[in-house]
A and B are shown apart, each in its own frame.
Chain A
Amino acid sequence: MPIQKIENSDSIIPRKAGVAPGEGAEKGLITLPGESEREVEDLAGASVLTTQLEKVVDWARGNSLWPLPFGTACCAIEFMSMVSSHYDISRFGYEVVRFSPRQSDLLIVAGTIVDKIAPVLKKIYDQMPEPKYVIAMGACATSGGFYRAYHVVQGIDEIIPVDIWVPGCPPTPDGLMYGILKLADKIKRGEIKRG
């Protein structure tokens, strides 16, 4: 399948037409198992009015995530790239990056978490008001990466609950964007129920 490239003479980066999110990986490559299976929550017992209201609330929450980039290491630089011109997360409305836990709802842990900063991360997570979501970005935050060492937390799910894991070292900005869109998708579909 030849790739139809979109021309942009100012940039050395080639680009092509893609597919909408939620369609999984491109045709021709294997998708991870269970990609297309979605567990639908049992809504027996709920009335129409409350479920409609919940849908609106979920839609609103998914479209207005305010990230808190808890950036420690290299993944923070890729997060900065995602906020910049080429990838531009503000197309989705997520550019309101607030470094205060009281004002944000999406905690993106970008970078290695070591034992020295683990209490700080836990405190930041506790200070965030509900509903809050956590994305673990990169090999170090998800699982400790290749640092099987005496000072590195082997994955932040030792400390805080995680919603989306984004593999990569560092994940490319579009890989991270795929993760954020996947989270937004899940929120809008009502699969994540928070307080």
Chain B
Amino acid sequence: MSTLTKYSAIPYTGPAPTNREPFVPADAAKHDTRGEELAAQLGNVAQERGQDLPTLVADKNDIVNVLTSLKTSGFTLPLDLWGVDYPNRDKRFDVMYQLYSLQNNERVRLKVRVGEDESVPTTTGVFKGYNWFEREVFDMYGVKFDGHPNLRRILTHEQFQGHPLRKDYDPAQRWLLTEQGVAKLEPKIDPRFENVDTDFERVTLNLGPSHPATHGTLRIVVTLDGETIIGAESEIGYLHRCFEKMSETHTYQQVIPFTDRLNYCSAIINNVGYCMAVEKLLGIEAPSRAQHIRLMLSEFMRLSDHIICIGTNLVDMGALTNFWYLFQPREEILGLVESCCGARLLPSYTRIGGMAVDVPSNFLENSQRLVNMLPKFIDDVEKLVMTNRIFRDRVDGVAPISAEDALSYGFTGPCLRACGIPFDIRKASPYLGYETYDWNVPVAEGGDTYARFLVRFEEMRQSLRILQQAINRGLPPGPVIVDNPYVALPPKEKVYNEMESLIYHFKMIMHGIQPPVGETYFQVEGGNGELGFYVVSDGTKNPYRVRVRPPCFPIFEAYTEMITGQTIPDAIAALGSLNIIAGELDH
């Protein structure tokens, strides 16, 4: 009830964000200077000013050299590669690259402008992770990449025609896939096993999209020599739900339920990431109460995500008890989320500018009960498995990946921390107040399944630490959403009684939020790593482009390399430990 005193009968007189001034972030000057330095260092790149990251524009023929020099000067993590379509421009496609430097904790964005029938040289030689990203840009836009080893569609099916994310593609135009059209995959044999004794027949096995142990719809085709996997190829896109196209046909507010369904195990984190990206574009900040609630629920959802990952991974290895033991507190977490906003798994709880409704009065009590309840279950599961010889034989040394390979692929999150690299967005670029809490980033060595287990167990404990501190601080008083009628719906009490609130309400529903023209990128730490949202606004009520950087996309890309030389049970144990969520992978 204290929230009502903030609102008064005096109408809002601030500037409406529905202005046509383009979006210029507050720290643009800093990024401009850094961009100048980089441009001077690299030589033949132009610079785009007024962005929220140092942005360089390169010519398509130079892109390989530019990326190589950036890599040697410290930008070793290839975060993302995506495209944007500007059909009115001469060179309609913008192929964008984003790199991250671990030493200096900075990002850089590169743009390459290509026309309709032009092609870009492939950058898979520089960063291994760009293999699948380039396939995705080819699939969605039709931009070809010269020299790519395997340029074919990745997300849409084999008989799909056209390139869906182009602006002239009708969102509802479907193409049917017949059974005969399904691609037959022939995995390439890994060079290490080329000259293995060929007296035995090599079997090609399809771990198909409907499989108890592939979590969600993933397809892996392996060539076996006896029990050893000598070649593997994977296929994704079995849950491509066209999030990016749907976000162009819906308003900013309506995209929030779509973001829920990306990483459905930890849905609030996606909501928070998207809302904070749009809030950055609008130049507003959610009230501190909303930020506190967002932080607490993000950590609960992170716990839920890790519980699902560990639980289902252990089920695949045959240890069913842990699944029951872990899902019991998870139900209580979902009960807490349900008491806040009405839906258990896919809350759509955040709104742009804050939260939809305030938390109930017993939120902190229930959170405290949960924080007291969870360690018992986590301890039980840890005691059951971590010193168990059977479990250790199944996970020690299984599907290892070296730190250099992990960086080259673009790993982030627990899988990268299991290789020994302490990169966590919550420490590197803190948001929601994470820097004010006392917690640690767990790091393990080895990069194999055992290390990933260690990291996930410890991350759950660190999340519980953050939650306990958050509960001790209590919820800051105040409103849960900004007091700006161009961004948030006015409270119903005023809509029913006051004329101007009713008109603000109508305008919000019919015309939506109209952010200033511009582009922005915001990243949060999802359950799997860096979840980034790149939002382009053209001033209308629908976003022009929303790009989600899925953290498990590069991780699954590396999977086939991780399992060659191992056996099928190892492959299954490793797949569970990577926590591949198909909703996020196929966005």
Contact = CB atoms under 8 A, between A and B. Distances in A.
B179 A123 contact: yes
A64 interface: no
B583 interface: yes
Nearest to A148: B172
Given A147-B241, A150-B242, A170-B345, A73 B582 contact: yes
B265 interface: yes
Contacts of A118: 176-177
Interface in B295-334: 308, 312, 323-324, 327-328, 330-332, 334
B583 A150 contact: no
A52 interface: no
Residue of A11, A115, A119, A170 with most chain B CB atoms under a 10 A cut-off: A115
B437 interface: no
A114 B265 CA distance: 20
Contacts of B157: 114-116, 151
B187 interface: no
A149 B239 contact: no
Contacts of A10: 373
B208 A120 contact: yes
Nearest to B332: A12
A63 interface: no
Interface in A15-45: none
A72 B174 contact: no
A152 B331 contact: no
B182 interface: yes
A119 B178 contact: yes
Interface residues of B, number: 60
Interface stretch (B211-219, B278-286, B467-475): B211-219
Residue of B181, B246, B258 with most chain A CB atoms under a 10 A cut-off: B246
Contacts of B261: 73-74
B346 interface: yes
Interface stretch (A76-84, A177-185, A186-194): A76-84
Contacts of A121: 210
B257 A146 contact: yes
A81 B324 CA distance: 10
B157 to A, nearest CB: 4
A78 B304 CA distance: 13
A67 interface: no
Interface string B351-393: 0000000000000001001100100000000000000000000
Contact of B172 (A12, A81, A124, A150): A150
B331 A117 contact: no
A114 B241 contact: yes
Given A99-B212, A117-B209, A85 B238 contact: no
B49 interface: no
Interface string A1-19: 0000000001111000000
Given A81-B327, A151-B174, A120 B209 contact: yes
B327 A147 contact: no
A102 interface: no
Contact of B245 (A78, A117, A146, A149): A149
A77 B240 contact: no
A151 B173 CA distance: 8
Contacts of B373: 10
Contacts of B331: 13, 81, 84-86
Interface string A107-133: 000011011111111111000000000
Contact of A152 (B242, B323, B330, B336): B242
A148 B217 CA distance: 20
Contacts of A72: 216-217, 238-239, 582
A13 B178 contact: no
Given A115-B175, A115-B176, A151 B242 contact: yes
Nearest to A152: B241
A169 interface: yes
A169 B346 contact: yes
A70 interface: yes
Nearest to B312: A80
B171 interface: yes
B264 interface: yes
A73 B217 CA distance: 8
B187 to A, nearest CB: 19
Nearest to B260: A74
A81 B334 contact: yes
A31 B258 CA distance: 30
A81 B323 CA distance: 10
Given A73-B239, A119-B179, 19 more contacts: A12-B335, A13-B335, A70-B210, A73-B216, A73-B261, A73-B583, A81-B334, A114-B157, A117-B238, A117-B239, A119-B182, A146-B246, A149-B245, A150-B170, A150-B172, A150-B175, A150-B245, A151-B155, A152-B174
The 10 A-B pairs at the shortest CB distance, nearest first, are namely A149-B242, A74-B264, A99-B212, A116-B157, A84-B327, A13-B335, A119-B179, A86-B331, A117-B238, A85-B328
27 contacts: A72-B582, A73-B261, A74-B261, A74-B346, A74-B583, A76-B216, A84-B323, A84-B324, A85-B331, A99-B210, A114-B239, A115-B157, A115-B174, A115-B176, A116-B177, A116-B240, A117-B210, A118-B177, A120-B210, A120-B238, A146-B258, A149-B172, A150-B242, A151-B164, A151-B174, A151-B242, A170-B346
